[in-house]
A and B are shown apart, each in its own frame.
Chain A
Amino acid sequence: MSCLSNPDLLVVGAGPAGLYAAIEAASAGLTTVIVDEGISAGGQLVKQTHKFFGNEDFFASVRGFDIARRLLKELSNMDHVHNLQESSVIGVYEDGIPVLHLPSDTTRLLQPERVIVATGASEKFLQFDNNDLPGVYGAGAVQTLMNQFGVMPGRNVLMVGSGNIGLIVSYQLIQAGVNVKAIVEIADRIGGYEVHANKAMRMGIPIMLRHTVIKAIGTESVEGAVICEVDENFRPVASTSQELAVDTICIAIGLNPSIELIAQAGGEVKYIPELGGYVPVRDDNMRSTAEAFFVAGDVSGIEEATTAMIEGRVAGLTVVKDLKGNTDLKKLESLKRELVAFRNGPTSARIREGLRKLGIVSSSKEHQYGNPNNPEKYMGKMRPVIECYEAIPCNPCETSCPTGAITVGENINDVPVIDYEKCNGCGICMTECPGLAVFMLRELPEEESALIGIPYELIPLPEKGEKVHLLGREGETLSDGVVQRVFKSPNKTHGVYVKAPAEIAGEVRGVSPVSKTDNTYVCRCEELTVQDVEKAINDGYTDFEELRRRLRISMGPCGGRTCRLNTLGMLSRKTGRPIEEFAPGVLRPPSIPATFRSIAGQEGAKDE
Chain B
Amino acid sequence: MSRLAQHPVIEFVRGKKISFEFEGRKLGAFEGETVAAALHAEGIRYLRSSPGRQRAQGFFCAIGKCSSCLMEVDGMPNVRTCITLVRDGMVVRRQKGKGELLE
Stretch of A138-146, A324-332, A377-385, A465-473 lying at the B interface: A138-146
Are A141 and B7 in touch, CB under 8 angstroms?
A: no
Least distance between B54 CB and chain A CB atoms (Å): 12
Contacts of B66 in A (CB 8 A): 122-123, 125, 138
Task: Classify chain B: how many residues form its interface, as a range.
Answer: 35 or more
Contacts of B37 in A (CB 8 A): 144-145, 148-149, 151
Closest to B83 in A: A37
Bound complex: CA of A457 vs CA of B3, how far in Å? Answer: 19
Bound complex: CA of A176 vs CA of B4, how far in Å? Answer: 7
Given A151-B37, A154-B1, verify A221-B45 contact (CB < 8 Å).
Answer: yes
Are A220 and B56 in touch, CB under 8 angstroms?
A: yes
Query: Which residues in window 39-93 of B have CB below 8 A to A?
Result: 40-41, 45-47, 50, 55-66, 68, 76, 80, 82-85
Are A140 and B8 in touch, CB under 8 angstroms?
A: no
Contacts of B32 in A (CB 8 A): 39
Bound complex: CA of A98 vs CA of B3, how far in Å? Answer: 37
Are A102 and B84 in touch, CB under 8 angstroms?
A: yes
Least distance between A292 CB and chain B CB atoms (Å): 25
**A4-26 Cβ-contact flags toward B at 8 Å (1 or 0):** 00000000000000000000000
What residues make up the interface of A, taking CB atoms closer than 8 Å to B? 37-39, 44, 49, 63, 65, 86, 88, 102-103, 105, 122-123, 125, 132-138, 140-141, 144-154, 175-177, 219-221, 258, 457-459, 461, 492
Are A134 and B45 in touch, CB under 8 angstroms?
A: yes
19 contacts between A and B (CB under 8 A): A38-B63, A39-B34, A86-B85, A125-B60, A132-B68, A135-B45, A137-B60, A138-B62, A140-B61, A140-B63, A144-B37, A145-B40, A145-B62, A149-B33, A149-B37, A151-B37, A153-B40, A221-B46, A221-B58
Least distance between B52 CB and chain A CB atoms (Å): 11
Least distance between A177 CB and chain B CB atoms (Å): 7
Report the 8 A-B pairs with minimum CB-CB distance, sorted nearest first: A134-B58, A141-B62, A134-B45, A122-B65, A150-B12, A149-B37, A144-B62, A150-B4
Are A134 and B8 in touch, CB under 8 angstroms?
A: no
Instruction: Tell me, yes or no, whether B101 is within 8 Å of chain A by CB.
Output: no
Q: Out of B4, B12, B47, which one reaches A134, CB within 8 Å?
A: B47
Q: Out of B10, B40, B45, B64, which one reaches A38, CB within 8 Å?
A: B64
Bound complex: CA of A138 vs CA of B60, how far in Å? Answer: 6
Task: Beyond the given A140-B61, A147-B10, A258-B65, please list 7 additional residue pairs across the A-B interface where CB-CB is below 8 A.
Answer: A65-B10, A123-B65, A132-B55, A132-B68, A141-B61, A153-B1, A175-B8
Bound complex: CA of A258 vs CA of B63, how far in Å? Answer: 12
Q: Out of A44, A134, A141, which one reaches B46, CB within 8 Å?
A: A134
Are B57 and A132 in touch, CB under 8 angstroms?
A: yes
Are A150 and B10 in touch, CB under 8 angstroms?
A: yes
Bound complex: CA of A148 vs CA of B45, how far in Å? Answer: 18
Q: Out of A88, A136, A152, A458, which one reaches B1, CB within 8 Å?
A: A152
Bound complex: CA of A459 vs CA of B12, how far in Å? Answer: 15
Closest to B1 in A: A152
Bound complex: CA of A30 vs CA of B22, how far in Å? Answer: 45
Interface of A is mostly: loop
Bound complex: CA of A148 vs CA of B34, how far in Å? Answer: 10
Instruction: Tell me, yes or no, whether B14 is within 8 Å of chain A by CB.
Output: yes
Bound complex: CA of A103 vs CA of B63, how far in Å? Answer: 16
Are A141 and B8 in touch, CB under 8 angstroms?
A: no
- A44, A135, A145, A461: most-surrounded residue (chain B CB, <10 A): A145
Least distance between A137 CB and chain B CB atoms (Å): 6
Contacts of A219 in B (CB 8 A): 56
Are B61 and A138 in touch, CB under 8 angstroms?
A: yes
Contacts of A88 in B (CB 8 A): 64
Least distance between A223 CB and chain B CB atoms (Å): 11
Bound complex: CA of A152 vs CA of B8, how far in Å? Answer: 14
Bound complex: CA of A212 vs CA of B59, how far in Å? Answer: 22
Closest to A86 in B: B83
Contacts of B58 in A (CB 8 A): 133-135, 137, 221
Least distance between B75 CB and chain A CB atoms (Å): 12
Least distance between B102 CB and chain A CB atoms (Å): 11
Contacts of A132 in B (CB 8 A): 50, 55, 57, 68
Are A141 and B59 in touch, CB under 8 angstroms?
A: yes
Are A39 and B3 in touch, CB under 8 angstroms?
A: no
Contacts of B47 in A (CB 8 A): 134
Contacts of B55 in A (CB 8 A): 132
Contacts of B1 in A (CB 8 A): 151-154
Given A39-B83, A220-B56, A221-B45, verify A122-B61 contact (CB < 8 Å).
Answer: yes
Closest to A458 in B: B8
Least distance between B30 CB and chain A CB atoms (Å): 9
- B3, B8, B12: most-surrounded residue (chain A CB, <10 A): B8
Contacts of B8 in A (CB 8 A): 175, 457-459, 461, 492
Are B4 and A152 in touch, CB under 8 angstroms?
A: yes
Least distance between A225 CB and chain B CB atoms (Å): 15
Q: Out of A86, A135, A150, A461, which one reaches B7, CB within 8 Å?
A: A150
Are A151 and B63 in touch, CB under 8 angstroms?
A: no
Query: Which residues in window 1-43 of B have CB below 8 A to A?
Result: 1-4, 6-10, 12, 14, 32-34, 37, 40-41
Are B63 and A63 in touch, CB under 8 angstroms?
A: no
Contacts of B83 in A (CB 8 A): 37-39, 86, 102
Bound complex: CA of A116 vs CA of B58, how far in Å? Answer: 32
Contacts of B45 in A (CB 8 A): 134-135, 220-221
Bound complex: CA of A226 vs CA of B22, how far in Å? Answer: 32
Contacts of A145 in B (CB 8 A): 37, 40, 62
Contacts of A492 in B (CB 8 A): 8-9
